[in-house]
Amino acid sequence: MLLLVSIGGLILLLALLILFHENANATEGYKLRTLEHQRSALLLEQEVVNMQVAQQQAIETLQNDTRIVGMLSTYKAGYIQGNNSVAYQPVN
């Protein structure tokens, strides 16, 4: 009789351990799915922002920008020729 009670208790203990383990796995799976959905939403948001940046940087947008339209064009621009250095070099 004592043997049957101890075997029953052992089976009950193992069943409870399995139940707790499965519950922990289910909880982790739920957290993982939630994080995957958040990641997908953030990737979609990043794509939208990248498209907006590309649209703002488009040449037509830049050409129609009031700040750029208001700029003056250069008159007789001078360019550096050869291997001359632009940086200041003090004379010794």
Q: Which residue has the higher pLDDT, 77 or 91?
A: 77
Identify the residue with better confidence: 85 or 11. 11
In a domain, 25, yes or no: yes
Q: Domain containing 41: what range?
A: 10-64
Mean of all residue pLDDT scores within the chain: 85
Q: What is the pTM of this model?
A: 0.48
The answer as to whether 72 is a domain residue is no
Has residue 54 been placed in a domain? yes
pLDDT of residue 72: 82
Is 84 contained in some domain?
A: no
Give the pLDDT confidence of 38-71 residue by residue, as tens digits.
999 999 999 999 999 888 888 887 788 888 888 8
**How is 6-63 classified by DSSP, letter by letter?**
HHHHHHHHHHHHHHHHHHHHHHHHHHHHHHHHHHHHHHHHHHHHHHHHHHHHSHHHHH
